[in-house]
Structure formats: structure tokens, C-alpha cells
Structure 1
Amino acid sequence: MNNLPVLDLAVIFIYLLAMVFVGVWFSRRNKSADQFTKASGMIPGWAVGISLYATFLSSNTFLGVPGKAFGSNWNSFVFSLSMPLAAWISVKYFVPFYRTFGGISAYSNLEERFGPWARTYSVFCFLLIQIARMGSIFFGIALSLQALTGYSMISIMLVMGICIVIYTVMGGMEAVIWTEVVQGVLKTFGGLLILYLVVQNIDGGIGKIADIAIRDDKFSLGSFDLNFTEPTFWVIFLYGLFMNLKAFGFDQNYVQRYHTASSLKEAGKSVWLCIKLYVPISLVFFIIGTALYAYYDQHPALAEAIKIQAAADRLPLGANTAEIEQLAKTLGPEDYGDKVMPHFMVQMIPAGLLGLIISAILAAAMSTISSSMNASATVFIEDIYKRYFSPGMDDKKKLRLLFIGTAFFGLLGMFAGVAMIGVKSILDTWWELSGIFAGGMFGLFLLSIISKKTGNNQALVAVIAGILVILWMTFSYLIPDQYAFLRNTLHANMVIVVGTLVIFLTGVLLTFLKRRIAG
């Protein structure tokens, strides 16, 4: 970190040391698997709510959202606007279901409804989502810190990953939740501070930002046409609704937290607190992206420097200046949006404050990754290892395996982050991958709790149909041109919507036909 002043290095070092200390502190209380996975159900609802908020407010929001707003408009904010409806449905139906059912795994109920295959299938979908999620966050934080420190992205991922593994493995879910409470506050303060600094450096302030944004249509939420081939308002709203329902209703990261709350009422309050915090702060990050657009509109030479750097990153090592400049001419704001905020931080944020903001970005990454690590290890041990390999294992062995599993999934997340180096947009990449993996599992979940008459065979056929549709929607672009009419024309964010509906509606239809034939 030789590019950073000593004061900033000290702030970052103190933050990382504090996170490790939290893990050591709570390790003394991790004497059982129950304590490690759900803190014995003694966490207050407000803390669980801030923890949920911190999980949502990942580095994909902290870095990806400003980059998206810079490169396009506020279309992606529609995702946040769908959250209150998803929260209402979840608090009314999903949270009581899990608190009554009582299992720490979100997927054990599927085995009772449809058999072991349903449980195993959903667990693997969940694990793929978490690995993709951790990878996108590792990549996002490394992309930012590389610009700030000069270190390689792989080195940054390694150092950050070691710190996360230490405090998550040692501290368990209790450490995850309480560190997320601190990280949630730090991330919020960091975002507001960045917004203030950007506005302060724009000639004309807020009024000028609004003028430039209106001129270039940066406040648009997308077209309201019923067009599902483009990222219209309705495409993003449906995507957000289904993804947020999946998160609050069927994601181990959230379900596990419902069990940490002291009561059903407190668990429900935690979901609403998450919404009340996340929706307005996500708007702040869209405003940051728009403000950065105005700033670089006033400083075109700086924008050109970012384009040159983005072009250099896309070309092989050793590319000459002419090649880099030629590629840079073809790049638009959407092609280098993710690099804008790190560049601004390097150029304009004073010593001391920069270290604080870097700590906030680290917090945005670490809270989500630690949560994914703990949840991934929990479902793997509960739903795979315990179910198939060691049904009668004692609590001591289970706790030891939870330690190993947590570290293992953290390493997988780092490898995924390395594999993502070079992607165009962090937010787009994460949304696309999560939509592909989530469509099949969420449809099966809805079938299990809504269609009570659906049996194992109907559910299995429905899932196979859903998987085939998801595979077609994802890979049909590979179909040769002479068969272009067979390609999927819907927007990529519609994968989870269509996949979920195909599984649910196919299961319901088959159940109806079976009853008609039997009757």
C-alpha cells in the first residue's frame, strides 16, 4: 500500500485488526454448533435488521451502483423499489413458516415435501449463488483497492480473504451479526461522506448536478413500455421482486438470521428495519454515480484518463499506446463506470478520510462475504454431509466441520473473484449469475409451500422443465444464425422470473391433471 499516506494505512490497519479481534472475542462462546450457526437465538431484532441491511449493502452496491448510475441512469434503482412488496409478503408468510418449522437449514423442509433430491438440488443452487456472490464482491473490492494501493488484485483478495476467514471461522454467526452492525454504520457513513465530497468538488453544486443529469436523462427509471427484451422499468421490477422474495424467503443468509432473533415478532421487525435502511441508502449511491457523472463532465481530461486505463486493462499486456488509445475512443461511460469512484477517491479525498472510506468499502465486502461463508458452511453440513455421510455425528464433530467448511467456501469465493477479473460491470455480472442459479430453486420453494397437493413426481418434472427453460434462455445465443428464431429474445434479468414461473405453474398443472385423471 505504498501509494497511501501513513494515516490512511493506520486507519485501515486498525479496522482490520478490530474485525479479527471481534472473531477472537466471540470464539470463547462458540462451544456448540447451535451457538455457531444461530447464536442460540438471543440476538435483538434491531441488530438482526442492521445485519440484514449490511448484507444487502455489499460492495456490489457500494461500487457497482455508482458505476451503473454513471454509465446509464437510475433504472437499476427499481430493484430497491420492489423491496417493500417483497418484505410484506415475506413477513406475512415466510418468516412465520421458518420460525414455526424450526430447522436451521432453509432447505430441509423440501425433503419432507418432495424427497432428498429436492433438498440437495436447492442446496447446490444456493451454494453456486453464494460462490458467485462472493466472487463478485472479492472482484469489486480488489478492483477498487488496486486503483488506490497499486497492489495486484489477487494480492488484495488474498489479504482480505484471510482476515474474513479468521473472524468468521472463530466468531461464528454472533460475530458475523455484531460485526455487520458496526460495518452497516460504517458503510452508511462512508457513502454519505463520498456524496458530500463529490458535491463539494462540482462547480455549481447540487443545481449543476441536476442540470447535467436532466440534460443527459440520468434520472430515468427506464421505459414503462411492456417490453421484456430490454431493461425496462417492469423487467427490473419483476427481477427485483423475485430476487428479493428469494432472498427473504429462501436464502440461507436471511433464514438463518430469523432463527437468531429472540421471537417471531423481532424477526419480522428485522426485515422491515432492513428495508427502511436499505432503500434510501441505495438511492444515495445512485446519486453518487450521477454526481460523479457531473464531476467528470466538468473535467473531461480526467474522464479521458479513466478511459485510457480501462482500455489498457482490456488489452493483453504489452499493448502499445496506439492500440490503447484506439480502443479508448470506442468506450462509452457504461464501459468504465466501475473505475470512476476509485479514481475520484485517489484524486480528491484527503488523507485520513480516504482510509476511513476504504475501511467502509472493506466493510461492504467483508460483511456480505462472511455471511455467505457461514451460511454456505451451515447448509453444506446440515443438508449434504450430515444427510448423506454422517447422520449420527456428535456436536463436537459438527462444530469442527463448520469451521473447516466456512474457510473452504471463503477460498472458493476468492477463486471465483479471480475468475471474474476483466468483466465489464460488477452489478450486471452478479445480477445475471444470481438470476440463473436462483430461478430453479425459488420455483420449487413456492411449489412446496403453496401447492400442498403437489407430490414428488410432479415437482421433479416441473424442476426438469424449469432447468431446461433456464438453460435455453441462458445459452440460446450460441444457436447458429440459420436457427436464430430459436434464440431467447427476453432480457437476461427475466431468467429468474420465467424459470420460477415455469416450475411453479408446471407443478400446479401436473397436479391438477393427476387429480382429474384419478377422479
Structure 2
Amino acid sequence: MSNLDWAVLISTLLAIVLYGIYKSRGTQSIDGFLLGNRSMPWYSVCLSVMATQASAITFLSAPGLAYASGMSFVQFYLGLPLAMIVLCITFVPIFHRLKVYTAYEYLEQRFDLKTRALTAFLFLIQRGLSTGITIYAPAIILSAILNLNPTITTIFIGTLVIVYTVYGGSKAVSYTQMLQMAIIFFGLFVAGLVVVQLLPSNVGFGKAISIAGKMGRTNAIDFTFDWDNPYTVWSGLIGGFFLQLSYFGTDQSQVGRYLTGASVGQSRMGLLMNGLVKIPMQFLILLIGVLVFAFYQFNKPPVFFNSFELNKLEKSRYQGDLKAINAEYSTVFKEKQQELEKLGIALDQDDQVTIDQQRLVLKEADDKAKVIRKKATDLMLKNDPKADINDNNYIFLSFVTEYLPKGLIGLLIAIIFLASMGSTASALNSLASTSVIDIYKRLVHKNGTDQHYLKASRMATFFWGFICILMALYASKIGNLIEAVNILGSYIYGTILGVFLVAFYLRQVNGRAVFMAAIITEIIVCICGYQKVVAYLWLNVIGCLLVVVLALIFQLFQKKTPDSGEVRNLK
């Protein structure tokens, strides 16, 4: 990067951290540290919720996913607006009325301590693992730019987020996320414009999209019903609805964001606006990936996008083999360019017969390129069996660092850092609140002072930061990061959502029945996921419905418990 890029990157990051520390000064209570004194306006709630969900993974992996397989991932979010409506009607008023710190407090009031502890434990597992992945995402940026081992950059990024989250708590998270999202929206808009400007003069936005479409990259909507396809309208509306409802309704990293709202109305408005804005935002991010794909049809992409792994191979004893692979790759690309020119002419003349022919020819050229790329990755593994041979997460990063103008590179990289900082800080804050409020305060130290629990919350934040850094060090082994986070969530969110739905709507079911149902359901879901019985989004539906059905069955075999449906006050 140039000196200007470094200046933009460092000044942006410093401004965000200092702003968060300044706005959160004077945080001296547990309520202020965990929930920002419940004083945030709706726009702060909306941006904070979006920033928590839109991690660096979104801006690294989503364009790479669109580049590799198209825009079908946008269907993942189709159930989001419906989930926001249900949340605003049910979850939000209940949580606000009870003035809980975490979502799981309500479950003890409704059921019992063991049900609360179980759901809190499931959340801690899922969020702890996924936060490690969100820390790893920006770490690969630094490793690619500085040509450093990702382990070093992972530790650096994790430490940076831990420092300001431990200091400022929820208020620091919320205020910094507002500024982060403003910068992110601006940067994405500019990035999209720049990609179009970099296309050849005879290829405008419309023609670029047409070319990408003929090569299978604009498949945004798929109405086929296929249990094995994770991205269709039906899996998005049904499976996505259950996943989003569970994520926003029962995951403390999100619940903690809208519990900071000054009132029920402010929290509701923030969630509804998130539901309206999120799908267009995700569409834009995927569209940028499609435009990058179109750009690389006219400009030769690297044989492998992870420059760190490629540099290792170039310096190894296999550099001669790599040169031969690169030469073969260049030949195939030149042949593909000739066929692409024919497609462009056919599109201009609206010659459908030639368009269909060229589509097949270009697919064959793509297949040849994939075979050559496979030779390169096999060579990497031969040189280093521990090499990371999945480069989807590096596609957009490679484009940014190679082709964007000076200054904008620093801004785009800052955006990815900011997204990671926002989502990671929210996650650490939620892990700390759940650990202290649901586990430590209820099971270990029940009668501490407010200052004692504030200190415990800061210590828990530091502890979970350390754990998440350890998890991040293994994230390179799991493929596309954005899919990995959602797959991991689908193993757990359905079960937790089922417990909450039973709590809200099945007043006759008691704690023992729902606890047994949750345990059995989680085992079944894990087996289904491991055996890949269905696409992962459907695991959310299976988990939720199984908990409800099994809880009703177990309740039928129990003697009626007096007042089993009444909410009990915590002692």
C-alpha cells in the first residue's frame, strides 16, 4: 500500500477507537457497561444491529462468493423482514417490560434455572466459535498486505478489539458502530462506481452484468424447491426466517443491541429499519462481487488469489513448476478472451443463437482454468501440507489492493477492519454479559455489588477475547467464512428459538419438558448436520419445530405442575 493508504487506514481506525472511548467515558455501572444505560435512539439501534451482523466476513467473503458461484446467497436474507415484524410484536416488548440484561434471564422466570443455563451455554459455544471466525477475517487482510503469517495479524487484531471493548463496554460499541456504518455505506458505494469505471470503455454496467449473467453469476432468485440447495427462495423465506428470528430474538449479541433502546418504540423502529435496509445492502455487496468477476474477464486474474500462499510457492523448490502452470494459465486466458469478444458482439447484435453457443464455450474455458488452478493448489500442498488452498476470501481483497486508486485502497481496507471491530466488539460484550449475568451471578457469586459485577464483566470480556483469538487461529481450515458462520449458527439457533417459542406461546409446558426436548433436539440436529441430510438452513426449521413438538409430548407424560405457565420472580 502507498503512504496515503496507510494514512487513511490508520487515521480512520484511530478516529473510531478514540471516538468510542470518548463517548463511553464515565461508564461506572453494570447497566452502563452491558446495555449503555438503555438510552440509545432508534437510528443508533438500527446501525448497531446492522454493524453487529455485517462483520468483515460480509465484505470479504460475500464478494468472493458472488465471484465464484453467483448472487444466490442474497436469498438467505429473504426471511429477515418477516422475522423483524415477529420480533417487534413479541420479543421486544417482553424483554423491555422485564428489564432483563440478557434474553436468557426470561427463561428462568418462565421455566427454571437449568433451562436458562442450557440456552446460555449453547449461545456461548456458538458465539465464541463464530467470533473467532470474525476476528480471522481482517487478519488475512494484513497478512496479504504485509506478507506476514496470519497468526501474527490475528493476534494483533484480536488484541486491538479487546482493549477498547474492555474499557467502554456496550456504549463504546454502539457509538463506534454508528460511525462505522456511515463510513461503510460510503465506501461500498464508491467501490461499486470504481469497478464500473475500470471496465473497458466499450463495456458499460449493463453489458458487464449481461456477460456475468451468461456465465452464471446473476442467479439471484431460484424458485425450485430442493432440500439440498441452501440458497433458494423457499429455503430463504422459511429456513432463513427461522434462522433470523432465532439470531435476532435469542442471540445475546443482537438482543443486547436493541435492549440499549430508550423505549420499546425506539427498539422496534431500529429493528424494522434494519429489516428494510439489510437486503439491499447485501445485494449491493454481492453485486460488487459480480462486477469484479466481469472485470476479471477482461483482465487476467492471478492463478491463486491468496498472495501469501502464492509467494511461499514462488520461493520454494517448485517455482519452476509454478512458472509452467502460470504459462498454461495465460494461454487459456487468451483463448477465453477471443471467445469473450465473440460473446460481446453477439450481445450487441442480440444474436441469441451465438449467445447460447458462446455461453457453452466460455463454460468450457472456465472449466479448463479450474483444472489449472487445481494444479497450483496441489503444488501448494506438496510444498506445505498445511497450506490454505481456499482463496475465496481473498478475491475482493486482491482486486482492491491491485487495482483501486491510492487512498481508496486504505478506505476499503479500513471498512473491512471497522466491520470486524463492530461485530467482534458486540460479540465480546454479549459473551461477557451472558457469562456474568446468566452463569457467574446465578451459579457462582449471587450477592455481589454492582462494582463487583462490573469488574467481573470486564474480566469476562478479556477472557472471551483470548478464547476467540485461539479459535481464530484455526479459522483458515473451514473454507468460505460467511458460510461457515451461518452453518455453525444453524446447528444451534433452531433449538434456542424453539425454547423461546414454547416459553411465549405454550403456557402449559413446564421447564422439565422443554429442557429434555432441547437436549434431544440438539443431538438430532447435530447428527443431521454432520450427515448433511438437508441443506444447512433447514436445520433451523427442524430444530425449532422439534423442540416444540417434543416439549408438548413430554408434557403429556408428566403430571400437571401447578402454575407451570406463570412467570416466577427471581430471588
TM over 0.5: yes
Q: Which amino acid aligns with 2:547?
A: I
Indicate the residue corresponding to 1:227 in structure 2. 226
Matched residues in 2 for 1:315 and 1:346: separation? 20
Check conservation: 1:306, 1:339, Cα contact below 8 A: yes
Indicate the residue corresponding to 2:237 in structure 1. 237
Once the two structures are overlaid, the 10-residue window that deviates more, 380-389 or 127-136, is: 127-136
Does 1:285 find its partner at 2:329? no
Q: Which amino acid aligns with 1:493?
A: L
329 and 251 in structure 1: CA distance in 2 versus 1, 3 angstrom threshold: closer
Check conservation: 1:38, 1:174, Cα contact below 8 A: yes
Check conservation: 1:54, 1:364, Cα contact below 8 A: yes
Structure 1 residue 365, shift from structure 2 partner: 0.5
Indicate the residue corresponding to 2:337 in structure 1. none
Matched residues in 1 for 2:264 and 2:242: separation? 23
CA offset digits 1:348-378 (Å, max 9, x no partner): 1122111111111111100000000111101
Structure 1 residue 277, shift from structure 2 partner: 2.6
Indicate the residue corresponding to 2:544 in structure 1. 500
Indicate the residue corresponding to 2:354 in structure 1. none
Q: Which amino acid aligns with 1:320?
A: Y
Q: Which amino acid aligns with 1:279?
A: I
Q: Which amino acid aligns with 2:468?
A: G
447 and 158 in structure 1: CA distance in 2 versus 1, 3 angstrom threshold: same
Q: Which amino acid aligns with 1:168?
A: T
Q: Which amino acid aligns with 1:89?
A: V
Check conservation: 2:77, 2:236, Cα contact below 8 A: no
Indicate the residue corresponding to 1:70 in structure 2. 67
Indicate the residue corresponding to 1:483 in structure 2. none
Does 1:81 find its partner at 2:136? no
330 and 115 in structure 1: CA distance in 2 versus 1, 3 angstrom threshold: farther
User: Greater Rg, structure 1 or structure 2?
Assistant: 2
Structure 1 residue 511, shift from structure 2 partner: 3.0
Structure 1 residue 207, shift from structure 2 partner: 1.9
SS in 2 for 1:261: coil
Structure 1 residue 393, shift from structure 2 partner: 0.5
- Normalising by structure 1, what TM-score? 0.90
Structure 1 residue 453, shift from structure 2 partner: 0.6
Check conservation: 2:20, 2:175, Cα contact below 8 A: no
Q: 1:430 aligns with which of 472, 475, 485?
A: 485
Matched residues in 1 for 2:457 and 2:534: separation? 41
Q: 1:336 aligns with which of 353, 375, 391?
A: 391
Structure 1 residue 209, shift from structure 2 partner: 1.6
205 and 423 in structure 1: CA distance in 2 versus 1, 3 angstrom threshold: farther
Structure 1 residue 327, shift from structure 2 partner: 6.7
Matched residues in 2 for 1:184 and 1:106: separation? 25
Structure 1 residue 503, shift from structure 2 partner: 1.0
Q: 1:320 aligns with which of 310, 318, 340?
A: 318
Structure 1 residue 280, shift from structure 2 partner: 1.2
1:133-148 residue pairs with structure 2 within 5 A? 133-148=130-145
Indicate the residue corresponding to 1:484 in structure 2. none
Q: Which amino acid aligns with 2:272?
A: W
34 and 512 in structure 1: CA distance in 2 versus 1, 3 angstrom threshold: same
Structure 1 residue 335, shift from structure 2 partner: 5.3
Check conservation: 1:20, 1:166, Cα contact below 8 A: no
Structure 1 residue 142, shift from structure 2 partner: 1.7
Structure 1 residue 224, shift from structure 2 partner: 2.2
Indicate the residue corresponding to 1:255 in structure 2. 255
Structure 1 residue 106, shift from structure 2 partner: 0.7
Structure 1 residue 181, shift from structure 2 partner: 0.1
513 and 410 in structure 1: CA distance in 2 versus 1, 3 angstrom threshold: same
Indicate the residue corresponding to 1:214 in structure 2. 213
Q: 1:416 aligns with which of 464, 467, 471?
A: 471
Unpaired stretches in structure 2, ≥5 consecutive residues = 326-370, 378-388, 563-571
Matched residues in 2 for 1:497 and 1:319: separation? 51
SS in 2 for 1:306: coil
Check conservation: 1:56, 1:278, Cα contact below 8 A: no
Structure 1 residue 330, shift from structure 2 partner: 6.0
Across the two proteins, how many residue pairs are aligned to each other? Answer: 500
Indicate the residue corresponding to 2:517 in structure 1. 462
Does 1:377 find its partner at 2:375? no
1:47-446 residue pairs with structure 2 within 5 A? 47-203=44-200, 204-221=203-220, 223-233=222-232, 234-299=234-299, 301-306=300-305, 312=310, 320-321=318-319, 325=325, 328-329=373-374, 336-446=391-501
Check conservation: 2:142, 2:153, Cα contact below 8 A: yes
Structure 1 residue 78, shift from structure 2 partner: 0.9
Matched residues in 1 for 2:313 and 2:438: separation? 44
Structure 1 residue 77, shift from structure 2 partner: 0.3
| Identity across matched positions, percent | 25
Indicate the residue corresponding to 1:480 in structure 2. none
Check conservation: 2:144, 2:308, Cα contact below 8 A: no
Unpaired stretches in structure 1, ≥5 consecutive residues = 477-487
85 and 317 in structure 1: CA distance in 2 versus 1, 3 angstrom threshold: farther
Indicate the residue corresponding to 1:14 in structure 2. 11
Once the two structures are overlaid, the 10-residue window that deviates more, 400-409 or 136-145, is: 136-145
Check conservation: 1:62, 1:191, Cα contact below 8 A: no
CA offset digits 1:217-237 (Å, max 9, x no partner): 222135422221222412233
SS in 2 for 1:439: helix
Check conservation: 1:54, 1:180, Cα contact below 8 A: yes
- Normalising by structure 2, what TM-score? 0.82
CA offset digits 1:472-507 (Å, max 9, x no partner): 11333xxxxxxxxxxx53123322221221112211
317 and 101 in structure 1: CA distance in 2 versus 1, 3 angstrom threshold: farther
314 and 97 in structure 1: CA distance in 2 versus 1, 3 angstrom threshold: farther
74 and 217 in structure 1: CA distance in 2 versus 1, 3 angstrom threshold: same
Check conservation: 1:312, 1:319, Cα contact below 8 A: no
Give the aligned CA root-mean-square deviation in angstroms: 2.5
Matched residues in 1 for 2:150 and 2:244: separation? 30
CA offset digits 1:258-293 (Å, max 9, x no partner): 332111111100101222332211111010111011
CA offset digits 1:230-268 (Å, max 9, x no partner): 224122333321121012211212222333211111110
Check conservation: 1:71, 1:335, Cα contact below 8 A: no
Indicate the residue corresponding to 1:40 in structure 2. 37
385 and 492 in structure 1: CA distance in 2 versus 1, 3 angstrom threshold: same
Check conservation: 2:529, 2:539, Cα contact below 8 A: yes
CA offset digits 1:44-81 (Å, max 9, x no partner): 11111111111122112111111111111221101222
SS in 1 for 2:124: helix
